[in-house]
Structure 1
């Protein structure tokens, strides 16, 4: 069945604090208008905590599409405002990893992303949830939240994923494995783990981690790096990054609509790069929660 076309009017909201946002806000505004998108308003938001409020006001004022420019954290921090609304979510990938944009098949350059919004189509996608908080792409426990909570902004901004890698080596010195319990409603699964990824799409940190996660499956995927070996965790990231044949040898996956997760000791949960929750927590899928703009051939 043919879906409604993408709107030609939108409000642009750019995280000007993100890695590329400050430099690209003016360019994005100009390129969107040149591509035929009439911008009702355009906001370059310097304070990240104001992003959600700015998007909420745009949706409440009846914007047919809200285009958010920033990284995965900006997307997850604002997407709650579009759930249950007719407003389309437009994505300008201006962050470091841009995992959600990769999942949607969006070009990662500004010109390509603008063209996808101007000439693409709607796609109805799922969102993940940690308790009552929606997220677009992935949440994680273990080393990732430690990195996300402490990585210097300038290191992330100027070195991108390499900066994350440098900081990961530093953080790994004090990191300890944990005992993980996953309750799928039928059975409790207990195992040692060094990292847990909660996936609504295949990418996390810009790396394709799962062949089974996607934004329209109606399921959430929990992927645990099993055991207590920190070198195994490093090897798992490397194996998945270079796509080795046995890249899933050190992980175990659980698929379903809802899970209850707990850890000993308690773990912080990073939601698309922002540390926003702790275990225990309920993890579930919100099927077909929003419309997003994707390339027509996606």
Structure 2
């Protein structure tokens, strides 16, 4: 266990579980062997400034509580800082926490913060913007752009899946072009995942991706018919080998990604870019607290 003398907790109180669980988290902070300065941020627009103010105090540990979008949106601020990231998974899918092997309950996550060890990991990058886990092209950003405000908070994963089914009926396959520096690969696809970690939407999808590999992975679910995507997701949810039958993966330190037509990209659940983009890896740029080995 690294000697931690100071820490701050910043919770996105507008995330699905953030506001409800903030007080419970604060009650558990006494279990940590170091003082923690807690902040519940009601307005997501204030998150970045709150993190900056906390980092200016030269913290040893910055604990972020929220979903994948919260963590991915703030992780840029930690790069090149001598601070360890702690994760409290308070979102819907919690893909980044799953990638790190963290417990998804508060008590388990607090235990990791108390007894874990720092681990240096990679971040993904899209056109200079860091992200934690996985970006997607296809139906995922279509869902993210159109999902009614508050649906995930009120109905959780079931409501989100219901909206996904509605958008699936309105979705069309597209053309992907991946350039690896020497070759251009063109194919018909129904989804593309740009991955630093294996989880997407809370499900293990990209076997080749790892936060310690030093490589970005672009995985395409190929096909002319969108039912292929349902088959791929279903096989992945059940852990079946059939999930690989319709996928093609490319990996490297950097890859150029284009689509026809140009499409939005959701980055850890938030639509933040549009094709074409350069996807690359930022190897070992942050430290994060994980369970002791």
Q: Do structure 1's residue 29 and structure 2's residue 26 form an aligned pair? A: yes
Whether the aligned pair in 1 keeps the contact of 2:6 and 2:59 (CA below 8 Å) is yes
Using the size of structure 2 for normalisation, the TM-score is 0.97
Whether the aligned pair in 1 keeps the contact of 2:232 and 2:242 (CA below 8 Å) is no
**C-alpha deviation, 1:61, in angstroms:** 2.3
- Of the three residues 115, 118, 123, the one matched with 2:119 is 123
**Runs of at least 4 residues off by over 3 Å:** none
- Residue 51 of structure 1 corresponds to 47
Q: Secondary structure at the match of 1:222?
A: strand
CA distance in 1, matches of 2:111, 2:141: 34
Whether the aligned pair in 2 keeps the contact of 1:6 and 1:121 (CA below 8 Å) is no
| Correspondence list, 1:224-263, <5 A | 224-263=220-259
CA distance in 2, matches of 1:243, 1:16: 33
- Residue 77 of structure 1 corresponds to 73
CA distance in 2, matches of 1:44, 1:210: 33
**C-alpha deviation, 1:53, in angstroms:** 1.8
**C-alpha deviation, 1:6, in angstroms:** 5.1
Q: Secondary structure at the match of 1:247?
A: helix
**C-alpha deviation, 1:261, in angstroms:** 0.7
Q: Secondary structure at the match of 2:48?
A: helix
CA distance in 1, matches of 2:145, 2:94: 18
Cα deviation code 1:179-229 (max 9, x no counterpart): 111011110100111110011111000000022111000011111011121
Structure 2: which 5+ runs fail to align? none
Q: Secondary structure at the match of 2:144?
A: helix
Cα deviation code 1:75-102 (max 9, x no counterpart): 0011000001111101000000000000
Q: Secondary structure at the match of 2:91?
A: coil
Structure 1: which 5+ runs fail to align? none
CA distance in 2, matches of 1:20, 1:37: 25
Q: Secondary structure at the match of 2:88?
A: strand
CA distance in 2, matches of 1:160, 1:252: 31
**C-alpha deviation, 1:51, in angstroms:** 1.3
Q: Do structure 1's residue 14 and structure 2's residue 11 form an aligned pair? A: yes
| RMSD of aligned alpha carbons | 1.2
Q: How many residues align?
A: 293
- Residue 151 of structure 2 corresponds to 155
